[in-house]
């Protein structure tokens, strides 16, 4: 177990990489959802973020990508990570996400957040804060 760390060492989240079969389309979705900019330096790795602010999102092409299922089902592809977004108005955020291309997950488990599914099949949550 790692109990101590060198006080000079600085580790922080820099980016979150999300696998998908169409990085350009998924980057468009998250750029629209978050009001961020899309950077298209490499068609297989497309970043979305705000200049000078981290973390940002990177969408990586994975030719054999299979979308996860929601809710989990042992016989299907499991999600390995999901994103939570704090929102000031849940209804407006849901409407905006749907307008951008997301769908509301058929099953919900809490009145405190709403599970959405992005265009590539990844679940993400809108959390009213």
Domain with CATH 3.10.180.10 in the chain: 67-129
Global pTM value? 0.81
Q: Are 14 and 57 in contact (CB under 8 A)?
A: no
- Name the nearest CA neighbour of 109 among 78, 64, 72, 60: 72
Distance from C-alpha of 68 to C-alpha of 43, rounded to nearest angstrom: 23
Of 2.60.15.10, 2.60.120.260, 3.30.2000.10, 3.10.180.10, which CATH number belongs to 67-129?
3.10.180.10
pLDDT in tens, 50-69: 988 889 999 999 989 999 88
Domain with CATH 3.30.720.120 in the chain: 1-65
Whether 44 shows a pLDDT value over 70: the answer reads yes
CATH code of domain 1-65: 3.30.720.120
Q: Which two tokens stand for residue 31?
A: 């750029």
**Following DSSP, what letter does each residue of 48-75 receive, concatenated?**
EE-TT-S-EEEEEE-TT-----SS--TT
């Amino acid at each position: 177990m790692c109990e101590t760390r060198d006080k000079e060492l600085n580790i922080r989240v820099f980016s979150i990489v999300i696998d998908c079969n169409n990085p350009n389309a998924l980057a468009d979705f998250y750029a629209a959802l978050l009001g961020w900019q899309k950077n298209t330096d490499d068609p297989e790795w497309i970043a979305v973020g705000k200049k000078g602010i981290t973390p940002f999102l990177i969408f990586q092409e994975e030719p054999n990508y299979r979308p996860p299922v929601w809710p989990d089902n042992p016989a299907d592809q499991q999600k390995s990570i999901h994103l939570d977004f704090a929102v000031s108005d849940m209804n407006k955020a849901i409407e905006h996400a749907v307008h951008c291309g997301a769908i509301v997950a058929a099953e919900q488990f809490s009145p405190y957040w709403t599970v959405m599914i992005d265009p590539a099949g990844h679940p993400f949550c809108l959390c009213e804060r």
